A and B are shown apart, each in its own frame.
Chain A
Amino acid sequence: MRVLSVSRWLRGAVRAPSGGPGSPQVPQPGRREREVTVDVLDHLEHLALVDFRDSEGVERLQKAIQFADQLHEVNTDGVEPMDSVLEDRCLYLREDDVTEGNCTKELLKNAKEKVEEYFVAPPGNIPLPKLEE
């Protein structure tokens, strides 16, 4: 199911059927030519906001995906994902009390544009222009 939904997003994605335990689930990288669709690019740009819209940026992304695909050589059946190496420890949480404050002036010092005690942003709710094909 997951495999299907991924390939819907990726033009030209070809996936081999999953093998049994121990066998690679996906063929070696390099054999597949995946292309990121304009839709995905558009969506990514809205999330990342890094203005990568040049062919070089897209190419770099494609390479990064291809590189990451090597992960699928590893059999991870039954393996729990690891968030942190401290997962078996009880970590310190402080009381939910205010301990610092009154630093408005200091914090505003680093802002480029402000009015009184406010940060100033340009007009909101205007989406980025759509990408052209």
Chain B
Amino acid sequence: MLRASLREVSAALKEGHVSPTELCQRCLALIKSTKFLNAYITVVEETALKQAEESEKRYRTGQPLGVLDGIPVAVKDNFSTAGIETTCASEMLKGYIPPYSATVVQKLLDQGAVLLGKTNLDEFAMGSGSTDGVFGPVRNPWSYSRQYKEKLVPKSHPEDEDSNWVITGGSSGGSAAAVSSFTCFAALGSDTGGSTRNPAAHCGVVGLKPTYGLISRHGLIPLVNSMDVPGILTRCVDDAAVVLGSLAGHDPKDSTTVQDSFKPFELPNLTDVSKLSIGIPKEYHAPGLSSEILALWSKAADLFKNAGANVIEVSLPHTRYSIVCYHVLCTAEVASNMARFDGLEYGHRSDMNKSTESMYAATRREGFNDVVRGRILSGNYFLLKQNYENYFVKAQKVRRLIANDFMKVFRSGVDILLTPTTLSDAVPYTEFIKEDNRTRSAQDDILTQAVNMAGLPAISVPTALSERGLPVGLQFIGRSFQEKQLLTVAKWFEKQVKFPMIELEEVKRHDHGVFQHQKSASFS
């Protein structure tokens, strides 16, 4: 049952095969038995069960609120949730209880979804591993899969076993791990440079970054206001469309959401792709791209070609500057956004009481990790009067060139771009932490970041397992506000590749009961 898709479980709820409370309890039990993944920062058992109970009443009276009613979901811990601690995985916000909920969270709740908890991330969503949060790194559920374990070279020392676990990618690693380990049916992430798509690719789930302006950012604690979007993580493309439909639309509380009306859609089953033009941007054949992923990428291109689509090589010449450009724009916006954390109104406050300024400085030293402080400092440097033109404005100009590249390609008749999502499959934690955060982000966001510069929608679809038995995702990029076309193509692709389901060994060992129980009620 827990392995079902959102739409399947929604149908089961409707037909009474399972009750919202039962479903919620099973998810909570699985969260407990998968605690070692560190996917959740906060689990709100009590309120979740209460929400499930209310949902149950609605189903009993035949008045469910819609497809999301009774569906257990999780939310990244950088979305404000009224009455529920919201930390951004930072010392700075430990203990902070927001007085309001983010619009997207409220929309989920208003449609009857059951909020199980808040998921782990890199501190303030700055990172690409979900390793740099104050609550510790998230472990990729695939580390404990039969598929991965079978391929592992046996180590002579059993104590080494613990060093084999791989990262989830980031920064929405907790959300990706939660969906991948079946503890919830959908989760919210955020995506500024690839933070939803990157962990989705590494955890074998679908990760959707919608068009900038389609979904409200109100209550999403900002990283880079001009690029942040809430992201959607689900088990399949159809589910992503369902969640998108329930979240999209203008929000008076976010002036950067567009006012065009959004009509939720169901995805058609594409039978004919011959009218499609698929662009393969040659610059995404980036240095460091693993041969394995390159091979899967060309196989995917061939798949479209053989089905009759027009597959052409295209060029996005400025894409290679997106990481540098992002580095300047991101740190600049971070420097400005993080000014609010001073210890006075909320969050951590240092005991230093000599002066206001010294209290601010001490609070921020104690509250932020090195990555965040480093970005604040660089951002302030790029914004200095004497550097503003040379760095900040220069980066804004480069941003336009990056965005124009995409526009030119789409104007030439290309419908969808197909690229890899990541350079390689997930690396072991012990490998990952050998490089610093900036270097890692620069490498890991390289295939995902340019999309945020241009505000375009993009989705990572699980494609195949690597030689090491780990998930590999490919990315589809669409035209602005053309989510339906993008998801339709992604769905067609998903159906062709038949990505295998994760077989969680460790969880079985950790909690035999839960999975046994589950199997008997499973759909597949």
Asked if A81 and B377 make an inter-chain contact with CB atoms under 8 angstroms apart, the answer reads no
Q: What CA separation (Å) do A46 and B374 show in the bound complex?
A: 15
Asked if B349 and A76 make an inter-chain contact with CB atoms under 8 angstroms apart, the answer reads no
Task: Give the number of residues in B that approach A within 8 Å (Cβ atoms).
Answer: 73
Asked whether B356 is an interface residue with its Cβ less than 8 Å from the other chain, the reply is yes
Q: What CA separation (Å) do A75 and B399 show in the bound complex?
A: 12
Asked whether B403 is an interface residue with its Cβ less than 8 Å from the other chain, the reply is yes
Q: What CA separation (Å) do A17 and B470 show in the bound complex?
A: 50
Asked whether A43 is an interface residue with its Cβ less than 8 Å from the other chain, the reply is yes
Q: What CA separation (Å) do A106 and B387 show in the bound complex?
A: 41
Contact of B226 (CB < 8 Å), options: A46, A80, A83, A124: A83
Q: What CA separation (Å) do A10 and B252 show in the bound complex?
A: 45
Asked whether B328 is an interface residue with its Cβ less than 8 Å from the other chain, the reply is yes
Asked whether B64 is an interface residue with its Cβ less than 8 Å from the other chain, the reply is no
Known A65-B378, A81-B396: A126·B357 in contact at CB below 8 Å: yes
Closest Cβ neighbor of A77 among chain B residues: B397
Asked whether B185 is an interface residue with its Cβ less than 8 Å from the other chain, the reply is no
Known A92-B257, A126-B355: A79·B393 in contact at CB below 8 Å: no
Cβ contacts B230-258/A at 8 Å (1 or 0 each) = 00000000000000000000101001111
Q: Of residues B226, B321, B386, which shows the largest number of chain A Cβ atoms within 10 Å of its Cβ?
A: B386
Asked if A51 and B397 make an inter-chain contact with CB atoms under 8 angstroms apart, the answer reads no
Asked whether B151 is an interface residue with its Cβ less than 8 Å from the other chain, the reply is no
Asked if A61 and B347 make an inter-chain contact with CB atoms under 8 angstroms apart, the answer reads no
Asked if B97 and A109 make an inter-chain contact with CB atoms under 8 angstroms apart, the answer reads yes
Q: What CA separation (Å) do A112 and B350 show in the bound complex?
A: 10
Asked whether A45 is an interface residue with its Cβ less than 8 Å from the other chain, the reply is yes
Could you say which residues of chain B place their CB within 8 Å of the CB of A45? 361
Shortest beta-carbon distance, A1 to chain B, in Å? 10
Known A106-B99, A110-B96: A6·B324 in contact at CB below 8 Å: no
Q: What CA separation (Å) do A55 and B520 show in the bound complex?
A: 60
Known A67-B327, A86-B258: A76·B357 in contact at CB below 8 Å: no
Asked if A79 and B255 make an inter-chain contact with CB atoms under 8 angstroms apart, the answer reads no
Interface bracket on A:
35 or more
Could you say which residues of chain A place their CB within 8 Å of the CB of B394? 71-72, 76
Could you say which residues of chain A place their CB within 8 Å of the CB of B386? 2, 5-6, 8-9
Closest Cβ neighbor of B454 among chain A residues: A85
Q: What CA separation (Å) do A93 and B355 show in the bound complex?
A: 39
Cβ contacts B464-500/A at 8 Å (1 or 0 each) = 0000000000000000100000000000000000000
Q: What CA separation (Å) do A127 and B382 show in the bound complex?
A: 23
Cβ contacts A98-133/B at 8 Å (1 or 0 each) = 000001001101111100000101111111100000
Asked whether A70 is an interface residue with its Cβ less than 8 Å from the other chain, the reply is yes
Asked if B364 and A60 make an inter-chain contact with CB atoms under 8 angstroms apart, the answer reads no
Asked if B347 and A110 make an inter-chain contact with CB atoms under 8 angstroms apart, the answer reads yes
Shortest beta-carbon distance, A8 to chain B, in Å? 8
Could you say which residues of chain A place their CB within 8 Å of the CB of B346? 110-111
Asked if A48 and B380 make an inter-chain contact with CB atoms under 8 angstroms apart, the answer reads yes
Shortest beta-carbon distance, A23 to chain B, in Å? 16
Could you say which residues of chain B place their CB within 8 Å of the CB of A110? 96-97, 99, 345-347
User: Which residues from 2 to 54 on chain A have a C-beta closer than 8 Å to any C-beta of chain B?
Assistant: 2-3, 5-6, 8-9, 36, 40, 43-52
Closest Cβ neighbor of A85 among chain B residues: B455
Asked if A49 and B357 make an inter-chain contact with CB atoms under 8 angstroms apart, the answer reads yes
Asked whether B274 is an interface residue with its Cβ less than 8 Å from the other chain, the reply is no
Asked if B355 and A61 make an inter-chain contact with CB atoms under 8 angstroms apart, the answer reads no
Closest Cβ neighbor of B395 among chain A residues: A71
Q: What CA separation (Å) do A57 and B391 show in the bound complex?
A: 20
Could you say which residues of chain B place their CB within 8 Å of the CB of A5? 386
Closest Cβ neighbor of B342 among chain A residues: A49
Known A50-B373, A72-B394, A111-B344: A67·B400 in contact at CB below 8 Å: no
Could you say which residues of chain A place their CB within 8 Å of the CB of B356? 121-124, 126
Could you say which residues of chain B place their CB within 8 Å of the CB of A36? 381
Asked whether B522 is an interface residue with its Cβ less than 8 Å from the other chain, the reply is no
Known A57-B373, A121-B344: A83·B380 in contact at CB below 8 Å: no
Asked whether B331 is an interface residue with its Cβ less than 8 Å from the other chain, the reply is yes
Contact of B331 (CB < 8 Å), options: A64, A82, A128: A64
Known A80-B397, A121-B344: A63·B438 in contact at CB below 8 Å: yes
Asked whether B418 is an interface residue with its Cβ less than 8 Å from the other chain, the reply is no
Shortest beta-carbon distance, B342 to chain A, in Å? 8
Q: What CA separation (Å) do A84 and B403 show in the bound complex?
A: 11
Asked if A74 and B374 make an inter-chain contact with CB atoms under 8 angstroms apart, the answer reads no
Could you say which residues of chain B place their CB within 8 Å of the CB of A92? 250, 252, 255, 257, 259
Asked if A91 and B255 make an inter-chain contact with CB atoms under 8 angstroms apart, the answer reads yes
Q: List 10 A-B contacts (CB under 8 A).
A: A44-B380, A48-B335, A51-B365, A60-B377, A68-B324, A76-B394, A85-B226, A103-B99, A122-B356, A122-B358
Residues on A facing B (Cβ under 8 Å) = 2-3, 5-6, 8-9, 36, 40, 43-52, 56-57, 60-61, 63-65, 67-68, 70-74, 76, 79-86, 89, 91-94, 103, 106-107, 109-113, 119, 121-128
A36-B381, A82-B399, A85-B455 known, 16 other contacts, Cβ within 8 Å: A6-B390, A9-B386, A46-B357, A47-B335, A47-B380, A50-B364, A51-B364, A56-B370, A65-B378, A70-B324, A74-B398, A74-B401, A76-B398, A79-B397, A86-B258, A92-B255
Q: Which 7 A-B pairs have the closest CB atoms?
A: A85-B455, A81-B396, A126-B355, A110-B346, A51-B365, A76-B397, A64-B378
